[in-house]
Chain A
Amino acid sequence: GQQVMQIPQYQHVQEGEDFTTYCNSSTTLSNIQWYKQRPGGHPVFLIQLVKSGEVKKQKRLTFQFGEAKKNSSLHITATQTTDVGTYFCAGQISLGAQKLVFGQGTRLTINP
């Protein structure tokens, strides 16, 4: 079945350093979504990417969708302690597809 692999599983950085998490799918995706889960919380939707090669920014967060629509990345510039949490990518095979397939998540911890 469809798989979405996400790396790294864990990342620890000093506050102010950059952070990147990568997502790869075994199949071409219709779109990819990113979620953030704060410690003790639930996943919260961040963004959706639909177009091949798309790049979107939210303040210090930059999201990319690969040209082949099989991979994606989330980059955080100059991390802050509020960025702590687990970041999940989730891929959808086609519009209206039955379900999202989530990556394993990358847990980000930050040393202030």
Chain B
Amino acid sequence: DADVTQTPRNRITKTGKRIMLECSQTKGHDRMYWYRQDPGLGLRLIYYSFDVKDINKGEISDGYSVSRQAQAKFSLSLESAIPNQTALYFCATSDWTAKRYTFGSGTRLTVV
């Protein structure tokens, strides 16, 4: 089984719909992150969480929200999806040193 699991792998949704992307991990890491990947822009941080009670905005948090339901679970929501949120979304985890990140396999989201 994968250390970091993202669901769904692919999703097509309509403009205005609410959608949730889920991430779970078996690494036992406290820190979890949501990144968005767009061609030519690399990986941009949306939100991150250092533990269940700690949620922080990243550089592009507008239009997104998150929930840390447990140490192992961190979900990303788009309250009202718009086409420019079409992208590849990655969840990642690390321990407190952040010496290395472990990424999930990604969710490819298309908003039409």
Q: In angstroms, how far is the closest chain A Cβ from the Cβ of B49?
A: 11
Is residue A43 within 8 Å, beta carbon to beta carbon, of the partner chain?
yes
Of A14-22, A63-71, A99-107, the one contacting chain B is A99-107
Select which of A41, A96, A103 is within 8 A of B97 by beta carbon. A96
- List, in ascending order, chain A residues with CB within 8 A of B105's CB: 41-42
**B99:A44 contact, CB within 8 angstroms:** no
Is residue B85 within 8 Å, beta carbon to beta carbon, of the partner chain?
no
With contact pairs A43-B43, A102-B43 given, residues A96 and B98 touching in the complex (Cβ less than 8 Å): yes
Interface size class of A (residues with CB under 8 A): 20 to 34
User: What count of chain B residues pass the 8 Å CB interface test?
Assistant: 26
Select which of B42, B96, B97, B100 is within 8 A of A88 by beta carbon. B42
**A42:B104 contact, CB within 8 angstroms:** yes
- List, in ascending order, chain B residues with CB within 8 A of A43's CB: 43, 90, 92, 101, 103
A-B contact count (CB 8 A): 56
Is residue A112 within 8 Å, beta carbon to beta carbon, of the partner chain?
no
Is residue B78 within 8 Å, beta carbon to beta carbon, of the partner chain?
no
- List, in ascending order, chain A residues with CB within 8 A of B35's CB: 102
Is residue B48 within 8 Å, beta carbon to beta carbon, of the partner chain?
yes
Q: In angstroms, how far is the closest chain B Cβ from the Cβ of A8?
A: 11
Residue of A nearest to B39 (CB): A107
State in angstroms the CA–CA spacing of A35 and B45 once bound together: 16
- List, in ascending order, chain B residues with CB within 8 A of A35's CB: 101
Select which of B41, B98, B104 is within 8 A of A99 by beta carbon. B98
- Give the B-binding residues of A (Cβ under 8 A): 1, 6, 9, 31, 33, 35, 41-45, 48, 88, 90, 92, 95-105
Q: A33-B99, A88-B43, A90-B43 are in contact. List 6 more A-B contacts (CB 8 A).
A: A33-B100, A33-B101, A41-B105, A42-B104, A45-B102, A48-B100
6 closest cross-chain pairs (CB), A and B:
A104-B42, A102-B43, A42-B103, A45-B100, A105-B42, A43-B103
